[in-house]
Amino acid sequence: MPERAMDDPAARSAPHASPGILIIGGGFAGLEAAKELGDAGLGATIVDRQNHHLFQPLLYQVATAALSAPDIAEPIRKVLRGRASVQVLLGEVVEIDAGTRSVRLADSSRLPYDYLLLAAGATHGYFGNDGWATIAPGLKTLADARSIRSKVLLAFERAERTIDPVEQQRLITVAVIGGGPTGVELAGSIAELSRYTLARDFRNIEPARARIMLIEAGPRLLSTFSEELSAYAEARLAALGVEVLTGTRVEAMGETWIRISGRVEPVGVHLWAAGVAASPLARQLGVEVDRAGRVPVDANLEVEGRPGVFALGDLASCPGPDGRPLPGLAQVAKQQGRHLGRSLAAHIRDGRPLQPFVYRGRGNTAIVGRHAAVFEQGRFRIRGGLAWLAWAIIHVYLLVGFQHRIQVSLQWLWRYLTYERGARLVSDDPAPVPEPARGNEASRSRLGRGED
């Protein structure tokens, strides 16, 4: 439905069309599908446990104090306000009943459906070591980003308050587990934060001496990229002071340590970027899922053996041109949502058969640090400042909301010129620091004077 519908009282009160279309998830896939169905004037309901759409590719910048949470989030109702036939509900789906064609929410209410679009995304996967989740948080939501930001900044604050140099170094040692794009971006951004921003703010510690470990079990970083770009990324991270450990497995971890390949390292902050698992809702469909918990779909994105039920985005195991499942990328989810919304609208209105989804790859990119990135599309590869500029332009363009594009562009420019990061807020109270041992008068005196 055109955007002017939001100003048309008649359009606002228009009854929802039948059949009922239920979309679970307001991420890239769900939101794009809702837009297309709304533009076609079809009745649809989108339900999400958050009231906002999150631009996940920039979530690591919230976690490392480069951006604020509102910069990369937009209320779902605001995005869809011009589509009067689309209803937005805040709620958490806990059960899918394929037999009655309905879903149950956490408050025990039920929503029926004729067509179900499951786009609930993915969560963190710890390869069977779920106990690690409380020690090494992953990065999927704004709450995760805020938690990581507080965890990192608190480590430096606690190090500032202790006089034991060994404990100081442990506190400012960060272990990032996983050498994919998220891990690479996190490690590089934390290294820049400590060496360029925090280095000017502390008196009793030297943040520039923070130890940032990037731990990858595989033979190289960025395994989905070419070896050439992988080697470039490793070299750039090393120039930032990141300690890259490939071929290294995490065997165990505790609050103050991590055991990797047989040796124990003292650690102040653990961060998880090694694996993801599809939303548990995928198993509610009663079909066999793959190792990552993803639902197999056919060429039309329909779940095998479940007519009228579709899976999209990170939750779907959708074969690409080479037969392997498409990667969990924002561009994949957006294209799937847009395609299914249009295809389903034509099917319902005009009786046309559902159309197969064809993914059109627009390249794979990862930022490695200040004005450095890698980009690859087929045999076309670029790296360095040009790739970084392309990454910035693409991500600003993909942000939902014109005001976010302006805000993020200005903040990036300011950060580039000044090395400053404005969102350095700690939301948790600092933990108590043990009293210093008597006898170290020099250290205690320096701590008390607060000298530069």
Give the integer Cα–Cα distance in Å for 148 and 129. 20
Q: Is the dihedral of CA 122, 123, 124, 125 positive or negative?
A: negative
Fold of 130-274: FAD/NAD(P)-binding domain (3.50.50)
Where are the domain boundaries for CATH 3.50.50.100 in the chain?
A: 130-274
Are 301 and 307 in contact by the 8 Å Cβ rule? The answer is: no
Nearest one of 224, 212, 190 to 65, comparing CA atoms:
190
Give the integer Cα–Cα distance in Å for 340 and 271. 35
Where are the domain boundaries for CATH 3.50.50.60 in the chain?
A: 3-125+276-350
Active-site option among 185, 192, 216, 234: 185
- What single DSSP character describes residue 36? H
Q: Each residue's pLDDT tens digit in the chain (452 positions)?
A: 333 333 443 333 344 444 799 999 999 999 999 999 999 999 999 999 999 999 898 899 999 988 888 888 999 999 999 999 999 999 999 999 988 999 999 999 999 999 999 999 999 999 999 999 999 999 999 999 999 999 999 999 999 999 999 999 999 999 999 999 999 999 999 999 999 989 989 999 999 999 999 999 999 999 999 999 999 999 999 999 999 999 999 999 999 999 999 999 999 999 999 988 999 999 999 999 998 899 999 999 999 889 999 999 999 999 988 888 999 889 999 999 999 999 999 999 999 999 999 999 888 889 898 789 999 988 899 999 889 888 887 777 667 666 767 767 766 666 665 666 666 667 654 445 444 433 333 333 333 333 33
Query: Between 385-398 and 402-418, two packed helices, what is the crossing angle to 10 degrees?
Result: 150
Active site residue 304: no
Fold of 3-125+276-350: FAD/NAD(P)-binding domain (3.50.50)
Nearest one of 212, 211, 207 to 185, comparing CA atoms:
212
CA atoms within 13 A on the CB side of 72: 26
Tokens standing for residue 56: 């996940």
Nearest one of 381, 399, 305, 321 to 52, comparing CA atoms:
399
Phi-psi region of 44 (alpha: psi -120 to 50; beta: other; left: phi over 0): beta
Cβ neighbours around 266 below 10 Å, total: 15
Task: Name the pTM for this structure.
Answer: 0.85
